[in-house]
Amino acid sequence: MNHFRRMARVLVVASVVTFSAAPRPVRSELPAVLQGVGFDQRLNEQIPLDLAFIDETGRSVQLDNYFHDRPVILVLAYYQCPRLCTLVLNGLVQGMLEMSLTAGRDFEVVTVSFDPRETWQLAASKKESYVQRYGRPGASAGWHFLTGQDDSIRRLADAVGFRYRFDPGQDQFVHASGIMILTPDGRLSRYFYDVRYSGRDLRLGLVEASQNQIGSPVDQVLLYCFHYDPTLGKYSANVMLFVRCGGIVTLLAIGGFVWRMARTGRSATGSASIAATALASEGAKR
């Protein structure tokens, strides 16, 4: 397992340093096994939703089956991967469990195998395992596992900038680790690298991709205080915005305190006036 994690970290570095579509002289410094592997970010680009795949029931589907009124988490992972893909899916399900947003209700998850040799039966087995691990009602209807032919796989991988290659000597695919969040109409919104995905980052990414159609007012504040860093593939705190947010919260707290004190003062004054009037009236009667 330690060997797996070390390999995962190397591939994470590869995915980060090779994400740009600009010339990449740093590639020459990468190990030969990682040449041509990584992500080219295609932020705000549309993916082809007419691509055909097979779902975990053996049914022919198109990607547009999963893009309607909710954002989508897209994962490219082959099901017989001996190491990295499992870590990516494990990290995703853990991050999903850290959120109050729920797959099938607030967002969709689409996992696509990039190994054209894999079957829908393998996809069904993988889905059963992860839906059970996720354990939330409606997850089965919200998390989809697909297989497909090489042409559809290649077109999808090219559209999202996912670069991988097959190593015949090892009979394995060499690839980077990461997931993507897409808008309900199929545009690439966010990339997250690594094999661990915090619930905070996933939630903020989904809220942004949904154009604030999901989430809460608190999420809007968090989006103001955090900004997405494409070089890291995560949300980072903006120090100045944090200071401003803190100042706003402080002012609101002071304002609320003053309002309560003023209201309490008015109530006390009103009560005193009523008591004085009552005493005066009583004295007049006497």
Q: Which residue has the higher pLDDT, 83 or 57?
A: 57
Distance CA 264, CA 133 (A): 52
Q: What tens digit of pLDDT does each residue of 250-263 get? A: 666 676 667 777 77
Q: Return the ∠ at Cα 274 (arms to 271 and 276), rounded to 5°.
A: 110
- Indicate whether 206 pLDDT > 90: yes
Domain 2-237 part of CATH 1.10.357.10: no
Distance CA 133, CA 129 (A): 6
Say if residues 235 and 227 touch (Cβ distance below 8 Å).
yes
Q: What tens digit of pLDDT does each residue of 60-106 get? A: 999 999 999 999 999 999 999 988 999 999 999 999 999 999 999 99
- Indicate whether 22 pLDDT > 60: no
pLDDT at 97: 97
Q: What share of the chain is helix, strand, coil (3-state, %, to 5)?
A: 50, 20, 35
pLDDT at 261: 75
- Indicate whether 4 pLDDT > 60: no
The H or E element containing residue 192 is: strand 188-193
pLDDT at 272: 52
Q: Which residue has the higher pLDDT, 215 or 202?
A: 202
pLDDT at 98: 96
Number of residues written out for the chain: 286
Mean pLDDT of 257-275: 63
pLDDT at 186: 96
Mean pLDDT is highest, among 79-83, 108-112, 243-247, 278-282, for: 108-112
Q: What tens digit of pLDDT does each residue of 163-187 get? A: 999 989 889 999 999 999 999 999 9
pLDDT at 14: 46
- Indicate whether 158 pLDDT > 70: yes
pLDDT at 258: 72
What's the mean per-residue pLDDT of the chain? 79
Distance CA 68, CA 71 (A): 8
Q: What tens digit of pLDDT does each residue of 102-128 get? A: 999 999 999 999 999 999 999 999 999
Express as a percent the part of the chain with pLDDT over 90. Answer: 53
pTM to 2 decimals? Answer: 0.70
Question: pLDDT tier at 240 (50, 70, 90 boundaries)?
Answer: very low
Mean pLDDT of 148-172: 95
Question: pLDDT tier at 230 (50, 70, 90 boundaries)?
Answer: low
Tokens representing 240? 């100045």
